[in-house]
Amino acid sequence: MTNLLRDRLFLVWLLLIAVTLLSAMIGGAHGFAAAGHGAAATFAVLGIAFAKVWLVMSNFMDVRGAPRALKIVCAVWLLAVLAILLAVYAQLLPL
């Protein structure tokens, strides 16, 4: 068990599970912020989701050991998609 707790992959998995449960509590029809705080909850939920994607990429897909160029492409791509999604959600884009 101590070995397991020293394993980075396992720890990352624990963290992913924890934040998933957290975001399930924040968002959705019966979430903490169901009354009146929808936008804030959505920003939080999507932010958490993209943080999880980054965790999966860097640890499970081993992007952390990749050349700098790939790391930058992944990070820029994730931030760009998150920004577009939030902007569309908040109706900031003239679509």
Partner 1 sequence: MDDLSVDQRPRPVPGPTAGKAPGHIPGEAGVWLLLFGEMSFFSSLFTAFLYYRSLDIALFSASQAELSKAIGLTNTLLLLSSSLFVALAVRAVAQGRTTTAPRLFLAALACSLGFILFKGIEYYQLISAGIAVNSNSFFGFYFALTGLHLGHVIIGSVLLGVLAVFSGRPLARPSHFALIESGGCFWHMVDLLWIIIFPLLYLVE
Q: Rule CB under 8 A: which residues touch partner 1? A: 9-10, 12-13, 16-17, 20-21, 23-24, 26-31, 33-34, 38-39, 41-42, 45-46, 48-50, 52-53, 56-57, 59-63, 65-67, 70, 73, 77, 81, 84-85, 88-89, 91, 95
Find the shortest distance in angstroms from Cβ 29 to partner 1.
5
- Tokens (6 digits) for 88: 């569309």
Find the shortest distance in angstroms from Cβ 91 to partner 1.
5
- Residue with smaller CB distance to partner 1, 5 or 95: 95
Mention every residue, 6+ apart, whose C-beta is less than 8 A from residue 84: 93
19: nearest Cα among 55, 62, 57, 64: 55
- Tokens (6 digits) for 91: 């109706």
Find the shortest distance in angstroms from Cβ 5 to partner 1.
14
Backbone torsion region of residue 14, taken as left when φ is above 0, otherwise alpha when ψ lies between -120 and 50, otherwise beta: alpha
